[in-house]
Amino acid sequence: MIAYRLSTIQDADSILFLDKNRIVAVGTHASLLAENEFYRMLVANQQIHNAPA
């Protein structure tokens, strides 16, 4: 699945995060939030609330 809205994929088992058609990070929503500043900025810009699982 390709998604522009991060809320669509936040429950996925694995997310491939692309920048300029290259994979720059792989992980769950929680791990990408913890490890990738650009992903965190996108989540903040889309105002996605991360509820504890």
31: nearest Cα among 44, 18, 45, 16: 16
Decide: 42 and 24 in contact? Cβ < 8 Å. Answer: no
Cα 49 from Cα 1, distance rounded (Å)? 21
pLDDT of residue 51: 52
pLDDT of residue 27: 96
Q: Output the pTM of the full model.
A: 0.75
Chunked in runs of 10, what are the mean pLDDT values of the chain (53 residues)?
A: 84 92 95 94 80 51
Alpha helix (H) residue ranges in the chain:
29-35, 37-45
pLDDT of residue 10: 87
Decide: 39 and 27 in contact? Cβ < 8 Å. Answer: no
pLDDT of residue 13: 94
pLDDT of residue 14: 95
48: CB partners within 8 A, 6+ apart:
6, 7, 10
